[in-house]
Amino acid sequence: MRRGINTSISPANLTGTVLPTPLSGGSTLVTPDQHLNTNLQLYTAGLRYNINPDWTVSAGYSFSKSTRYRNESTFYLTDPAGDYNDTRFEGKEGHQMNAFQIMAEGFVKTGPLQHQLVFGVSYQKQTSDYTANPFYDQIGTATSISRTSTATTARASTLYRNADIVQKAVFASDTIALTQRWSVLGGVRITNYEQHGYGIDGETLSTYSKNGGATPSVALLYKLTPGTTLYASYVESLEPGNVVSTTYANSGAVLNPLRSKQYEVGVKTQNERWSATAALFRIERGAQYANGDNVFVEDGESVFQGAEAGTARLERRRRADVNRDEVQKGFVLRRQSRGGRTGLRRGGACELRGACRV
């Protein structure tokens, strides 16, 4: 349980184009009545059997469960002087995932070509539960951003089943060694996808179902050295639909799944004491945003492209990583059927991002 968490600030309702003066280092936006209580559980089990030196079969099962209880304020700025409206949200949510997979891996030869084969089946079911009676309302105003509200909104919360998603899939891939240095990979995943959205009373409000959805993957690889590989790849994937949050007019709606496409060229190297990666990438996926009526919709396409690099130094008892330094350019919305957003920079896209771990 985290109590006294920082309050969020939003300029969504700000009049004009000038932001208030930044807070001093001695100011705080922590209020003791706000909290975030998160619980995460994960259980996994697996079995692996070597049929012979070339072939292996495996089976795995995982169960995950997460719950979150939030009581959080957002200060919506109203003018450059720092006046704001304090809007509070309180509610609970819970998610569960059951996943099962059976897979076979092995090597075969067809004439001069060496094949590394992978194929299998998978089943996945996820459920989402949300508060039937969440609180979301303005609880106060203030004339200085440095002052905080201490209003309390504690109330009983009853969860209801908001959505369930089931995915059943078969998959296969083949990595063919053309020469000692060149190889190609081809694979496909075929998914039967079904999702349902439910109302508080248990009534089914939305259904989406599609059988036989294929998501391919291809790659070309070249070994510069035994530990260094150049590659170019193309991968498609299917992302489950999101549940619209409380702040939107269509709160609780379950959106349809999104298909994404990723293009990447790069290099990877693995040595005894260190490893490194570098790549150029481009990701195309369906766009999601709130329209002028505050309805969260899927429309158009987001494009996310840039470069990334990472390195790790391996020691006997420690590992130091500098990972995924990314320059993200041209994250835009385009080809939207509802005009006015073509060419805009995608919210949340940063110019540079880095991480370091020891």
Amino acid, res. 102: I
> In Å, what is the CA distance from 302 to each residue of 49, 263, 324, 352?
43, 14, 21, 18
- 106 has which bridge partners? 55, 117
Going by pLDDT thresholds of 50, 70 and 90, the confidence category of residue 39 is very high
- Residue 317 φ/ψ, nearest 5 degrees: -120, 5
More confident residue, 191 or 156: 191
More confident residue, 26 or 272: 272
216-226 pLDDT, tens per residue? 999 999 999 99
**Domain 39-68+92-134+160-270, what fold?**
Maltoporin; Chain A (2.40.170)
Residues 320, 297 contacting (CB under 8 angstroms):
no
Question: Where is average pLDDT lowest: 20-34, 139-153, 184-198, 308-322?
Answer: 139-153
Q: Report the distance separating Cα 193 and Cα 187, nearest Å.
A: 19
pLDDT at 224: 93
pLDDT at 343: 56
225-253 pLDDT, tens per residue? 999 999 999 999 988 878 887 778 888 78
Mean pLDDT of 87-105: 94
pLDDT at 352: 63
Question: Where is average pLDDT lowest: 120-124, 153-157, 219-223, 266-270?
Answer: 153-157
Q: Say yes or no to pLDDT of 211 above 80.
A: yes
Question: Where is average pLDDT lowest: 93-102, 109-118, 260-269, 295-304?
Answer: 295-304
